[in-house]
Amino acid sequence: MLNYTFHWNQAFKALPQMLDGAVVTLQIALLSMVLGVALALALTAFRLSGSRILRGFATTWVEIARNTPALFQIYMAHFGLGNFGIHLSPYTALLIGIAFNNAGYLAENFRGALKAIPETQARAGRSLGMTPIQAFRLIVLPQMLRVAFLPATNQMVWAILMTSLGVTVGMNTDLAGITQELNARSFRTFEFFALAAVIYYIIAKLVTLAARLVAARMFRY
């Protein structure tokens, strides 16, 4: 028989604390997405450029970000850099680790989205008298963002869930950090983790819903 009596009231008493943590989680996820998109656009540009150094750099970044565990990336940002004397706070290390990971995945998304747009679009733009950069900015880029939007939303939800890895680098103000601390004090593991899971689920669903509304508005013809 289950050797455990549930004490749900203890978990609900801690709800305000956990909601404060949820705000910090959302904050980190949003910042890391903004950074990730900016870096991914740069990486995509590097990938398409003629310079071998830039292409090699971008490919290395994408390969490492996509093929190693996010936990390692975050751990390296805190302890790995710390070995060289660069001290990043747990918040910053988590942010940089997730942004690194996001940039890698989003760069692949953008590359795929770019391939989905036929070359004739850019050529039609040039034939109308636009410069290459104008053709890219006004014709290709909006279409590319449209195709890449839903995969990017996926990555945003993934970033929210990845913030939970911050506990390994001493992060104690986000949702997972607060939950782990409450758990370590009282050992009501099941109650606290179940409640935290529900909060993560709600946050992820809200973000997906918001993204769909934005998509409906922004991508109207």
Partner 1 sequence: MKPSVLAFSLLAATALTSQAHADKLDDIIASGTLRCAVVLDFPPMGARDESNNAIGFDVDYCNDLAKALGVTAEIVETPFPERIPALMSGRVDVGVASTSDTLERAKTVGMTIPYFAFEMAVTANEKSGVKSFEDMKGKVVGATAGTYEAIALEEQVKAWGTGEFRPYQTQADVFLALSQGQLDATVSTSTVAQANVKTGKFPGIAVVGKAPFDIDYVSLFTNREEYGLINFLNLFINQQVRTGRYAELYGKWVGGEAPNLAVNGVYR
Where along the sequence are the contacts to partner 1 (CB under 8 A)? Answer: 3-4, 78-79, 82-83, 85, 87, 90, 167-170, 172, 177, 180-181, 183-189
For residue 68, give the DSSP letter: S
- Residue 73 beta carbon to partner 1: minimum distance, rounded to whole angstroms: 17
Amino acid at site 30: L
Task: Rank residues 3 and 120 by Cβ distance to partner 1 and give the closer one.
Answer: 3
Q: What are phi and psi of 220, to 5 degrees?
A: -80, 145
Amino acid at site 4: Y
Task: Rank residues 95 and 167 by Cβ distance to partner 1 and give the closer one.
Answer: 167
Task: Rank residues 67 and 83 by Cβ distance to partner 1 and give the closer one.
Answer: 83
Task: Rank residues 181 and 211 by Cβ distance to partner 1 and give the closer one.
Answer: 181
Cα separation, 76 vs 93, whole angstroms: 8
- Residue 94 beta carbon to partner 1: minimum distance, rounded to whole angstroms: 12
- Residue 83 beta carbon to partner 1: minimum distance, rounded to whole angstroms: 6
CA separation, residue 30 to residues 27, 83, 88, 98 (Å): 5, 28, 19, 11
Q: Cite the DSSP H helix spans in 76-188.
A: 81-83, 90-116, 119-127, 132-135, 141-162, 175-186
Cα separation, 126 vs 134, whole angstroms: 9
CA separation, residue 6 to residues 82, 195, 200 (Å): 42, 13, 21
- Residue 6 beta carbon to partner 1: minimum distance, rounded to whole angstroms: 12
Task: Rank residues 80 and 151 by Cβ distance to partner 1 and give the closer one.
Answer: 80
- Residue 85 beta carbon to partner 1: minimum distance, rounded to whole angstroms: 8
